[in-house]
Amino acid sequence: MPGMDGFEVARRLKAAPQTTHIPIIFMTGLTETEYLVAALESGGVDYVTKPIKPKEVLARMGVHLAGARERRQTRNALDAFGYATITVRAADGCLMWQTPLARELLERYCGTQAPTTPPEVLGWLQACLQTVARGDEPAKLSLERGPKRLTFRLHQQIGDSDAGGDWLIVMREVSDTAVIEAMSLSFKLTAKEAEVLYWVVKGKTNKDIGDTLGSSPMTVKKHLERVFVKLGVETRTAAAGMAMSRIRRLHPQFEG
């Protein structure tokens, strides 16, 4: 091939989200192990050596196309039902596929676009793969943006396991806005006081809360003093404990 060999063609096809799903079978006259390994490392799923046997080639094509169709059907189903899902290639951390909702969430929370996998997600995935290799259950990742958070859960591996495979990751956005509103109603707090109490429950300092709400630490302190009066407590710990107890009854899924 002039200017580019088959290995480089395969690498480029696998690097592009539009063509990464296409299974590549190498046909070569080179039988040395190093060439066969290079074919698989560059993205090939299989190889046949010359002289070829047409029936064998067709049979291998059928197997790999069936697998590719099954993976694509899974992705299409996730897309159709509005799940926020991405696929990341373990070998190089490339984001290979995403549903429209996942694209929107990643741009909003991480400011990234495919094929770039957000650094925090990539670091979490690498840690998860080590955990899976030990036979343990991988932890979830949670990114917080105000009262909203985006969680990531490792779902399953797809593709060739020899090369690390592609990993399907399911994302879910959770909002604690309802929790803040419940705090306001339960304790007769203003909206701002309820927000301050929410972040106290989260263990934030007055400075952290001020940075989040766009207020000074002194303003946060004044809001918190009024919260203490309305709750009938004197310390942050007591306020947080009372709020947590009340909210857990109303929103059992709340993570303090």
- What pLDDT, on a 0 to 100 scale, did the predictor assign at position 59? 84
Residue 190 confidence (pLDDT) above 60: yes
Two tokens, residue 95: 């984001």
Asked if the model's pLDDT at residue 168 lies above 60, the reply is yes
Let me know: does 67 contact 87? Beta carbons within 8 Å.
no
Q: What is the rounded average pLDDT for all residues in the chain?
A: 83
- Residue range 114-148, pLDDT digits in tens: 889 999 999 999 999 999 888 898 999 999 887 88
Residue 52 carries which DSSP code? P
Helices (H), the chain: 6-15, 33-41, 54-80, 100-110, 119-133, 177-187, 191-201, 206-213, 217-231, 236-250
pLDDT tens, 88-99?
988 888 888 888
Q: What is the pLDDT of residues 22-75, one digit of tens each?
A: 888 888 776 667 777 777 777 777 878 778 888 888 888 888 777 777 666 666
Is pLDDT at 227 greater than 90 in this prediction? yes
Percent of the chain with pLDDT over 90: 33
Task: Please give the Cα distance from 37 to 105 (Å, whole number).
Answer: 38
Whole-angstrom Cα distance, residue 11 to residue 23?
12
Per mean pLDDT, which range of 64-73, 210-219, 232-241 is the poorest?
64-73
| pLDDT (0 to 100) of residue 100 | 82
Neighbouring-strand partners of residue 158: 166
Taken in order of first residue, the domains within the chain and their CATH numbers are 6-72 (3.40.50.2300), 82-175 (3.30.450.20), 177-250 (1.10.10.10)
**Residue 237: per-residue pLDDT:** 93
Assess contact for 56 and 48: CB atoms under 8 A: yes
pLDDT category, 109, cuts 50, 70, 90? very high
The DSSP annotation for 110-145 comes to H---TTPPPHHHHHHHHHHHHHHHTTPPPPPEEEEE
pTM exceeding 0.85: no
